[in-house]
Amino acid sequence: MKSIRIKISYSDLDSLRPHEESIEERIHHVEGSLFSTGILRKPLIADERTGVLIDGTHRYNALKRMGISTAPVIYVDYLSENEIRVARWIRIYIFKNIEQAMINKIADHFRSFSCEPLVKILRDTYIIELVRKQPANAYRAISHMEKDKNIISNLKTILFRTNISPRMLEKRCLVIIPPYLNKEDVIEAGLAGKPFPPKSTRHITVLKKIELRTRIKHLLNRQ
């Protein structure tokens, strides 16, 4: 296995810069888990040069809500470390019924965000691929669409996948393929204080397997 140069230290949470927003329900879930177990199993992961948070956004927010100001952080040279990869979350929307008029409305929605939607039909599945022109706009347009019941009606569920297979397309559904984000996009979003919506990036790295099992009581005593 290739070695990775990292540094682990207790850091001020206010020095970190999230690149992605959190899901409120998920923050509550993580906070409840931390209270019940009294253990922070995994450290946060951040870029050593900029402090941009790479992994652990929900833990970061849960810890801050608990009044904790410092936590263990794995620092890594994010841009130069090839072991860390950025993947995208493809959305698969399962509907009770789906019509061309709704697809047209969704395509127009993306155009209003200056996105270029490429619409395809494969058997009973509609596929909208968003061209990488203004990637941040594309992810914000997706987030806005998912909250607008006037745009998406009859929605049963949303599946998130990093890739799609023919088997997934057997049901009548809508697949939205967002543009790829790169590491520079991640750093820029964090430094600008304009994080991407939730479920925009998925970082793939062996560093996520590291466990330190830090006691919450210990973190509270460090205040």
Could you read off the pLDDT of 165-195 as tens digits, one per residue?
777 676 778 999 999 999 999 999 999 999 9
Collapse the DSSP code of 168 into the 3-class scheme (helix H, G, I; strand E, B; otherwise coil) and give the result: helix
Token reading at 58 = 């929900």
Residue 135 has pLDDT above 70, yes or no: yes
Q: Which CATH number does 6-85+205-221 carry?
A: 3.90.1530.10
Rounded to the nearest 10 degrees, how much is the dihedral formed by the CA atoms of 47, 85, 59, 41? -100
What are the residues whose beta carbons fall under 8 Å from the beta carbon of 71, sequence distance 6 or more?
10, 11, 13, 40, 43, 44, 59, 60, 63, 214, 219
pLDDT in tens, 141-162: 999 999 888 777 778 888 899 8
Percentage of residues in the chain having pLDDT higher than 70: 97
Domain boundaries, the chain: 6-85+205-221, 90-177
Alpha helix stretches (DSSP H) within the chain: 24-37, 57-65, 100-112, 135-147, 183-192, 216-221
Q: Which fold has domain 90-177?
A: Alpha-Beta Plaits (3.30.70)
> What global pTM score does this model have?
0.91
